[in-house]
Homo-oligomer: A and B are copies of this chain.
Amino acid sequence: MLQSKLIGDTKKEWPSEASLKSHGLLLKGGYIKQMASGIFTLMPLGKKVIAKIENIIREEMNKIGSQEILMPLVATKKLWDMSGRYDSVGSELLRFKDRTKADMVLSMTHEEATVFSMTNDATSYQKYPFSVYQIQTKFRDEARSRGGLIRVREFTMKDAYSFHTSTESLDKEYDKFFEAYNRIYDRVGIPEVIAVASDTGMMGGSGAHEYMLLCDAGEDKIVKCKNCDYSANMEVAYTAKYDTFNLVEEKLEKISTPNIKTIEDLVKFTGKENTNILKAVIYDRLDTNQTVIVFIRADREVNETKLRNLLRVDDEKLVPKTEREDDKILYGFVGPINLNIENSIVIYDSSLENEKSLIAGANEKDYHYTGVNISRDVGNVEYHDVSKVTKDDYCPKCHKKSLDISNGIEVGNIFKLGDKYTKAMSMTYVDENGNIKNPIMGCYGIGIGRLMASVLEARATEKCVNWPASIAPFDIHICPLDYDKNEQIKNISDKLYSDFESLGYDVLLDDRQKSAGVKFADSDLIGAPIRIVVSKRNIADNLLEIKTIDDEQNQMIDVNDVIKFVQEKMKGWKK
């Protein structure tokens, strides 16, 4: 197409609202336009890239035999009640009433809808295994949308669901999706994406992986072993063992600690390390109105995902305790000895298990104990792993102190759901022996807008998008200088344009009256893998200057060889 007609102008300045590189580039390049918090329009360039990503995903889904369907975005409360998620999911599930005052939701995921859609069509074991997928709009009412397309409220997702009569069959399908996902990331230009063990979260089920692009822009923390292949989301990562710092048993002693409420103050006051201190972290559990007290060694932090999973409490129903004057809790002095807080649950983290002597709150204003030995002073307690892994911990697989923690963007996830949904929703099939059973399920998601943004986070600079040829909005960008003034340049450019178009390439011709600098800067923001510069100087020698995505050096190609050159290049790239 002619660039003068392309809708979605590039901006001269880096957008001030951009928090991430991808956000800035997508705005600056005219790919997206923000409509509201976390809600965007895809402008023509953005839509072109997304369409190419969708086609790659569609091809890979079809290749593994998944059947495309389309489920509605709007669902009834009744449907979500069948799984119990209408109540259990937090306010990111957008609930509303229709004109008849019926309760509805905007679907953020489609397990219920899929099970409902499939129930009467898969009643015999002979139909199994099978999987379906859709590429569809979802809405998740994020409290904090951020980073352009990285975390939005309305988004397009590819979500697939598989159905099985055995865990072996699920495992096999899971592997097929695993491989398909790797091919997808490879084809869109980020083969470095890794799969890490992850939390099953609101999905439930028996196992899950997230696909992570490791980069600074990520908001997930990924734990990876430098020595073996262990990798996991921080939410579920654990250490093989804990170092123990307090091996000598001391006697219990109460000390005056006037107004010493923080670990920092206590370290200063006692001259000890935080490894010598037991700290109390206090939460409100909203579903049961209980207080949750976590005792953990003070050098460590509570992993709230692990804590939620341990307590089987839903997202948003476990929140850090807010101090209130009337709640009778002696903040800063809570400890395991003489603890007496009404309606509470007490959790001991595994980091405390072998410690023989610790400093801890005395449950008395301005007093702490030293020499606390839990088994001696409190009795037999159960320990649970609810602490965040640190880089100084031990890899749970190879047991070496070789962990590394990076930021990651989640660009996909796969879950083994088991029979959670089919059982709750009474989806059944008749097996070989005439028995009625619930199928088991897997589910497999990729957020498509986020994937596009992630490709930029991985490949782009602040000036140049560097799309791979497979998803670039155009194949070829013809940039003539003085197109409007020099007839020869116009003729050559127009001929190249029509020749390449008729060969089936998607070509952009910069017919605008702009300086070379502006044209090249815009071209870097559009990122066609081949840029052909038509200039007076080179045309005199019958040459075109060509810049390709795989070569830092520009090349001079004879006008008569340019089609062959481009065809060869494209053959090597497209996949």
Contact = CB atoms under 8 A, between A and B. Distances in A.
Interface residues of A, number: 63
A46 B51 CA distance: 21
A33 B96 contact: no
Contact of A30 (B121, B139, B153, B156): B121
Interface stretch (A71-79, A357-365, A370-378, A408-416): A71-79
A5 B46 CA distance: 36
A469 to B, nearest CB: 20
7 contacts: A1-B67, A5-B130, A33-B117, A36-B75, A42-B69, A74-B106, A94-B98
DSSP majority for the A interface?
Answer: mixed
Contacts of A50: 70
A141 interface: yes
Contact of A137 (B35, B73, B126): B73
Contact of A121 (B43, B48, B137): B43
A397 interface: no
Interface in A8-28: 8-9
B72 A117 contact: no
A8 B137 CA distance: 22
A4 B128 CA distance: 10
B141 A99 contact: yes
B35 A139 contact: no
Interface-central residue, A39, A50, A70, by most chain B CB under 10 Å: A70
Contact of A73 (B5, B46, B51, B73): B73
Contacts of A46: 69-70
B41 A117 contact: yes
Contacts of A137: 73, 136-137
A126 B117 CA distance: 50
A68 B6 CA distance: 11
A120 interface: yes
Nearest to A141: B99
A524 interface: no
Contacts of A72: 35-36, 39-41, 154
A209 to B, nearest CB: 25
A329 interface: no
